[in-house]
């Protein structure tokens, strides 16, 4: 491998990115507008279904059997999804991270509940709960408890999701789609005629995209933080490591998609097939807490799930690298597998 | 068909085949290409020229056959020593002409001065322009400059002047002649017979995946199309053609005489008192050879 050749392609790709003003602007503008939109303009309900945690529920027991003391119209309401937790600590953990909107201790009279004041859905579901009983009784039958420790604003929870989603689209389309286009119009064939090796080319694409993703991340972060003032409870350096692992993994996935094919239409379909489920199941916008176990398990095949889990642990809960190491390890293992598959399947002209 | 190379062979092709789902794009081609020659590969559309040249360039793999470069299999060094100008190539977007040359120059160990190439290929005026903002002729000259960037011993030019206007085509030919004068081996595919006749020392005509003729252009003409055509205005032609009876053919207001012995026919015409003013002579060209060998039916 010659570093000079790798650097030549790395530089050329970066120049293309920075000079393509439309795409360049879009890469920054898109996440910024989303964050701004959710953080400033949209202050109401952000999901159609409310998740209410209930504890203590023994493993395997039906959550609906523990709703005896809850108002029936509330427990049976279609828009309310009940999620079981064994302990209060588990439920509180999810509540703090906006995975659920309200937490209730089952079998208590008056009904003891916790709700995050920073959650737009929490306020609504609290009113739903109180409104489920006659107005004369409601004051006496509820006991609102304070959440101890850090309370996370919804925008702080959403922010890593939007950054991760932007990273995912940029990595998949910026590598997968672009390389296929280059294969189709003969640029790759021209490069094949030079001493450049496939490994050097792929490595240059990988490094260039990681550099551009991290560059975009920093700019978007600074811009959004300047306007909305994010709270980061963990170390920024740790967060950088998490995003670096995530961008490497998703760019590697982009290289797998880019490894073969000359049809931009097919590649576009493939990219949509991968990116849309990843966006919805990786908890970019909303939690899948309470979803069927198989769905939650299948979400773990997506790199974005692990990236967001680790990023939120660092950003929202102040955890260190040791705690998020399992997610970083998974991202690194996925990256290695994607890189090996991409390199094995890569073709300059087929 | 195997011809004797004019010089020490630089490339040797042994029984090359390329099949695509039953289609024999290249069907058992064997030949050698001498060092320092300008070799032309001619053929109608779909004859297999580009497939064969891309096999030799190591861009696609043959179904069967062997290619030797300097007497041995092509090694990694092959790409350092060859320059390629493809028939259809896009370039990296949002890069200027100079930046494109600079990017590609970093891919090679030994390179030509970029300034010299810009001068050679007349790219001075577009040096700072983006690749997608230059004209077709300028793009072809840039692609030629890229092919010459690594001071190649062997240059492949796949239909370099396709789509160019006459001025741009002649300009490109002049550059290729300069490259040729530097002693480099050139492998050129084209379907412009004039281009092959002007540039090539040695040509092979391909059709349906096979080489059907091989040799220097004058030799091919001598072998396949010996008869020249004398054209005499009908008003000047005698009513009794005498010895020329079997050779003449009327085309409009002219009489055409096809012959292998022009001197004898001219002597006869003079002896018959024909006024030679207005008489024209058309000698056979490579295009006549090409049409004779590949037929006149439309391809593709």
Interface with B, mutate which of A1, A12, A196 (most B CBs under 10 A): A12
B104–A15 C-beta distance less than 8 A: no
Residues of chain A contacting B57 with CB distance shorter than 8 Å: 193
**How far is residue B130's CA from residue B143's CA, in Å, rounded to a whole number?**
14
Determine contact, residues B69/B228, Cβ cutoff 8 Å.
Answer: no
The encoded tokens of residue B195 equal 């281009």
First-last CA distance in chain A:
23
pLDDT at A139 over 70: no
Mean pLDDT of B192-203: 89
pLDDT tops 50 at residue A42? no
- DSSP annotation of B200 reads -
Flag whether pLDDT at A59 surpasses 90: no
- Residue from the list A7, A8, A194 with its beta carbon closest to the beta carbon of B79: A194
User: Strand B228-233 vs strand B254-259: parallel, antiparallel, or unpaired?
Assistant: antiparallel
Q: Are A64 and A75 spatial neighbours (Cβ–Cβ below 8 Å)? A: yes
- pLDDT value at residue A140: 56
Taking the Cβ of residue B88 and every Cβ of chain A, the question of whether any pair is shorter than 8 Å is answered with yes
- pLDDT higher than 70, residue A151: no
Provide, as residue numbers in chain A, all residues whose Cβ is less than 8 Å from the Cβ of B76: 195
CB neighbours of residue A53 within 10 Å: 30
pLDDT band at B67 (very low <50, low <70, confident <90, very high): very high
Q: Does domain B37-47+74-223 have CATH number 2.70.70.10?
A: no
Please give the structure tokens belonging to residue B166: 């006459």
* Pick from A9, A20, A190: CB nearest B89: A190
Structure tokens at B197: 């006749």
When the pLDDT of each residue in chain A is averaged and rounded to a whole number, the result is: 83
Residues ≥6 apart with Cβ < 8 Å to A162:
A31, A34, A35, A38, A284
What is the CA angle A171-A173-A178, rounded to 5? Answer: 110
Q: B280-300 pLDDT, tens per residue?
A: 888 888 888 888 888 765 555
Token pair listed for B269: 């015409």
Q: Looking at chain B from residue 123 to 182, which residues have their Cβ under 8 Å from any Cβ of chain A?
A: 146, 150
Provide the pLDDT confidence category of residue A47 given band limits of 50, 70 and 90. very low
- For residues B208-234, average pLDDT: 87
Q: Tell whether B106 lies on the interface with A, counting CB pairs under 8 A.
A: yes
Contact state of A8 with B107 under an 8 Å Cβ cutoff: yes
Token output for A204: 């240059």
Least CB-CB distance to B80: which of A8, A185, A195? A195
The residue to which tokens 């032609």 are assigned: B237
The overall average pLDDT reported for chain B is 87
Mean pLDDT in residue range A110-139: 74
Neighbours of B166 (CB within 10 A): 8
Residue A146: what pLDDT? 65
The reported pLDDT for the residue numbered A40 is 59
pLDDT at B204 over 90: yes
A69: pLDDT confidence band, cut at 50, 70 and 90? low
A276: pLDDT strictly greater than 80: yes
- Asked whether the predicted pLDDT for residue A186 surpasses 80, the reply is yes
Would you list the domain boundaries of chain B? 37-47+74-223, 227-283
Q: How far, in whole angstroms, is CA B177 from its chain's centroid?
A: 12
CA–CA distance, B56 with B73 (Å, rounded to integer): 11
pLDDT of residue B299: 58
Max intra-chain CA distance, chain B: 74
Kindly state the percentage of chain B with pLDDT values over 90: 35
- B22: pLDDT strictly greater than 90: no
Q: Which band of pLDDT confidence, cut at 50, 70 and 90, is reported for residue A44? A: very low
DSSP H/E element including A104 = strand A102-105
Please name the residue that has the structure tokens 């030949």: B31
Chain B contact present for A23, CB below 8 A = no
State whether residue B95 sits within 8 Å of chain A by CB.
yes
Note whether B79 contacts A189, CB cutoff 8 Å.
no
Task: Give residue B163's Cα distance to chain centre.
Answer: 15
Of A145 and A150, the structure prediction assigns the larger pLDDT to: A145
Distance CA B139, CA B145 (A): 10
B271 phi, psi to nearest 5 deg: -65, -25
Choose among B122, B166, B152: nearest CA to B11. B152
Strands A50-55 and B23-34: unpaired
> What percent of chain A is predicted at pLDDT more than 90?
25
| Radius of gyration from C-alpha coordinates of chain A | 23
Split at pLDDT 50, 70, 90, the class of B84 is very high
Largest alpha-carbon pair distance within chain A? Answer: 83
**Range B28-36 average pLDDT:** 91
Measured in angstroms, the CA of A278 and the nearest CA of chain B are apart by 30
Count chain A–chain B contacts defined by CB atoms under 8 A.
66
Nearest-CA residue of chain A relative to B102?
A: A8
Compare all CA atoms of chain B with the CA of A192 and give the residue at the minimum distance. Answer: B59
Is B90 or B6 the better-scoring residue by pLDDT? B90
Contact between A186 and B88 using a beta-carbon 8 Å cutoff:
yes
Whether A41 shows a pLDDT value over 60: the answer reads: no
Containing A111, the helix (H) or strand (E) segment is strand A111-115
- Whether the CB of A127 is below 8 Å from some CB of chain B: the reply is no
Can you list the domains of chain A with their CATH numbers? 3-41+153-345 (no CATH), 50-145 (3.40.190)
pLDDT of residue A201: 92
Chain centroid offset of residue A331 CA: 13
Question: Considering chain B, what percentage of its residues have pLDDT values greater than 70?
Answer: 96
In terms of Cα–Cα distance, which of B121, B122, B191 is closest to B161? B191
The answer to whether A156 and A316 are in contact (CB under 8 A) is yes
Listed in sequence order, the residues at least 6 apart from B77 whose beta carbon sits closer than 8 Å to its beta carbon are none
Q: CA triplet B10, B12, B18: central angle to 5 degrees? A: 135
Q: Report the alpha-carbon distance of residue A20 to residue B94 in Å, rounded.
A: 7
Distance from CA of B202 to the nearest CA of A (A): 25
How would residue B248 be classed by pLDDT, with cut points 50, 70 and 90?
confident
Mutate which of B58, B74, B80, B103 to disrupt the A interface (most A C-beta within 10 Å)?
Answer: B103
Is the predicted pLDDT of residue A219 greater than 50, yes or no?
yes
List, for residues B96-141, the tens digit of each pLDDT value. Answer: 999 999 999 999 998 989 999 999 888 988 999 998 888 888 888 8
Determine, for residues A194 and B103 on separate chains, whether the beta-carbon distance falls below 8 Å: no
């Amino acid at each position: 491998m010659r570093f000079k050749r790798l650097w030549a392609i790395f530089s050329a790709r970066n120049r293309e990115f920075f000079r393509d003003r439309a795409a360049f602007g879009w890469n920054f503008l898109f996440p910024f507008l989303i964050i701004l939109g959710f953080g400033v303009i949209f202050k109401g309900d952000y999901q159609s279904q409310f998740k209410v945690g209930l504890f203590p529920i023994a493993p395997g027991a039906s959550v609906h059997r523990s709703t005896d003391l809850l108002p029936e119209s509330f427990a049976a309401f279609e828009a309310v999804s009940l999620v079981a937790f064994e302990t209060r600590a588990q439920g509180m953990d999810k509540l703090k991270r906006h995975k659920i909107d309200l937490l209730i201790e089952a079998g208590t009279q008056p009904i003891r509940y916790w709700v995050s004041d920073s959650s737009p859905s929490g306020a609504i579901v609290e009113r739903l709960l109180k409104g489920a009983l006659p107005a004369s009784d409601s004051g006496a039958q509820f006991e609102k408890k304070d959440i101890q420790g850090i309370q996370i604003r919804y925008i702080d929870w959403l922010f890593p999701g939007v950054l991760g989603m932007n990273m995912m689209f940029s990595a998949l389309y910026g590598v997968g789609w672009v390389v296929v286009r280059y294969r189709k119009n003969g640029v790759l064939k021209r490069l094949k005629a030079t001493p450049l090796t496939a490994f050097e080319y792929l490595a240059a694409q990988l490094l260039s995209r990681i550099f551009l993703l991290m560059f975009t991340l920093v700019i978007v972060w600074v811009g959004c933080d300047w306007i909305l003032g994010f709270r980061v409870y963990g170390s920024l350096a740790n967060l950088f490591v998490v995003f670096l692992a995530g961008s490497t993994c998703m760019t590697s996935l982009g290289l797998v998609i880019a490894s073969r094919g000359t049809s931009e239409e097919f590649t576009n379909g493939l990219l949509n097939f991968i990116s849309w489920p990843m966006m919805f199941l990786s908890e970019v916008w909303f939690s899948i807490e309470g979803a069927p176990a198989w769905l939650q398990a299948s979400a773990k095949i997506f790199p974005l799930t692990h990236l967001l889990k680790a990023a939120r642990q660092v950003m929202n809960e102040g955890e260190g690298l040791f705690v998020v190491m399992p997610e970083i390890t998974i991202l690194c293992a996925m990256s290695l597998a994607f890189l090996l598959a991409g390199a094995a399947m890569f073709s300059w002209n087929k | 068909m195997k011809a004797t190379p004019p010089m020490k062979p630089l490339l040797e092709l042994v029984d090359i085949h390329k099949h695509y789902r039953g289609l024999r794009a290249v069907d058992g081609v064997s030949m050698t290409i001498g060092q320092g020659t300008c070799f032309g590969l001619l053929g109608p559309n779909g004859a297999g020229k580009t497939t064969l040249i891309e096999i030799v360039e190591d861009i696609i793999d043959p179904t069967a056959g062997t290619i030797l470069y300097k007497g041995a299999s092509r090694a990694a060094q092959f790409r350092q020593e060859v320059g390629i100008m493809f028939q259809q190539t896009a370039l990296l977007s949002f890069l200027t002409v100079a930046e494109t040359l600079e990017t590609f120059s970093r891919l090679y160990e030994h390179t030509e001065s970029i300034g010299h190439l810009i001068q050679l290929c007349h790219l001075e005026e577009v040096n700072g322009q983006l690749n997608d903002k230059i004209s077709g002729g300028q793009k072809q000259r840039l692609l030629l400059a890229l092919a010459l960037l690594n001071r190649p011993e062997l240059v492949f030019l796949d239909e370099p002047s396709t789509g160019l206007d006459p001025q741009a085509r002649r300009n490109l030919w002049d550059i290729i002649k300069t490259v040729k004068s530097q002693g480099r081996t050139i492998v050129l595919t084209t379907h412009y017979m004039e281009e092959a006749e002007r540039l090539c020392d040695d040509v092979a005509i391909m059709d349906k995946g096979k080489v059907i003729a091989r040799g220097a252009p004058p030799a091919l003409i001598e072998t396949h199309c010996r008869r020249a055509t004398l054209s005499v205005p009908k008003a000047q032609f005698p009513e009794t053609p005498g010895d020329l009876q079997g050779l003449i053919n009327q085309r409009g207001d002219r009489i055409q005489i096809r012959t292998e012995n022009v001197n004898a026919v001219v002597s006869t015409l003079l002896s018959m008192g024909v006024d030679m003013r207005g008489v024209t002579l058309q000698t056979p060209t490579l295009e006549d050879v090409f049409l004779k060998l590949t037929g006149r039916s439309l391809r593709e």
